[in-house]
Homo-oligomer: A and B are copies of this chain.
Amino acid sequence: MIERIAIVGTGLLGTSAGLALRAAGFGGTIAGWNRSPEQAQTALHLGALDSIATDPLQMARESQLVLLATPVHAILDWMEQLAAVLGPDHLITDVGSTKAQITAASGRLFNQPDRAAFLPGHPMAGKERGGAALADAELFRGAVWMFTEDPAWNRSPSSAELVSNWRDWVAAIGAKVIDIAPARHDELVAWVSHLPQFVATGLSALLEDQVGDAPELKHVGGRGLREMTRLGASPYSMWRDIAYTNTEAVQAALFALEQRLAHIRENLRTPELRAEFDKANQFRKE
């Protein structure tokens, strides 16, 4: 049973996880560490943590579960460091947005009988802005939480038990677990998460060029425009690692949308436009 959790990265997701675990009745200890101490202080004040660590590797050693809640490149760095100090009584899991590289590193560095377990995870939850101050105990309720572990991994019995227990906690905080292969995960999120983000960024940047000098006209578009550009507020720091670690799938999705928009542009006065609307209607039909 997991009784000592360490959260590395107490931003929006890490702090929300702490709050959600508390709300779901987790009675053990939660320690946290963040590169910028202010975020850890905010997480502590919100009740997501019991303590702030000064030495993250020491914190990890003293825990049973380490939750890595940083951008993807930082997760990969932490994996290298933690592999050297943790053993078969530990589980590490993460909330990274792309899973191919992390899952490959998991097989290489962990998930063998004499090593710690690593369970690659990705909750489909977030906000257009990050930070501990926006954390929410309900952030994961109803959200899909994907795991991309390899069924062939051969873990120690104690770490395998921690994996099973963590899956129960993820369900307890209201998320819907889906197991999926890492390559399929990265392709899927390119379509349903990364493409919408980069479209919102491109649309917002384009509109800033077009009407940015006339703030009163920004309001003309109403709710539709607000929704289509809300993700435009997402900072580069949240998306840089995604662009780097899922480049090909994102490129394919963007290219497909460029072609689709060109098709619409060339058919504004032909029956093809009706076919596009009908297909879009189909996507939204439940």
A interface list, Cβ under 8 A from B: 124-126, 128, 143-144, 146, 176, 178, 188-189, 191-193, 195-212, 216-222, 224-225, 227-236, 239-240, 243-244, 247, 250-251, 254-258, 260-265, 268-269, 273-274, 276-285
Contact = CB atoms under 8 A, between A and B. Distances in A.
Given A231-B228, A273-B236, A221 B200 contact: no
A196 to B, nearest CB: 4
A193 B224 contact: yes
A245 to B, nearest CB: 10
21 contacts: A126-B224, A188-B211, A192-B220, A193-B221, A193-B225, A196-B203, A201-B277, A204-B284, A205-B279, A205-B280, A207-B283, A234-B277, A236-B277, A240-B274, A243-B269, A247-B268, A251-B268, A254-B261, A254-B262, A254-B264, A255-B262
B280 A228 contact: no
A122 B218 CA distance: 16
Contacts of A124: 220-222
A206 B236 contact: no
Contacts of A198: 261, 264
A259 to B, nearest CB: 9
B201 A228 contact: no
Given A200-B228, A207-B283, 13 more contacts: A128-B224, A189-B220, A193-B221, A202-B257, A202-B260, A203-B280, A204-B284, A208-B282, A232-B281, A236-B278, A244-B269, A254-B264, A258-B258
Contacts of A200: 224, 228, 280
Chain A binding surface, main DSSP class: helix
B273 A265 contact: no
A65 to B, nearest CB: 25
Copies in the complex: 2
A143 B268 CA distance: 27
Contact of A283 (B220, B232, B243, B264): B232
Contacts of A251: 265, 268
Contacts of A128: 224
A198 B265 CA distance: 9
Given A196-B221, A224-B231, A232-B284, A191 B207 contact: yes
Contact of A221 (B192, B199, B232): B192
Contact of A261 (B202, B210, B229): B202
A202 B196 CA distance: 11
Nearest to A227: B227
Contact of A199 (B203, B212, B274): B203
Given A201-B277, A222-B125, A264-B254, A247 B269 contact: yes
A200 B255 CA distance: 16
A281 B192 contact: no
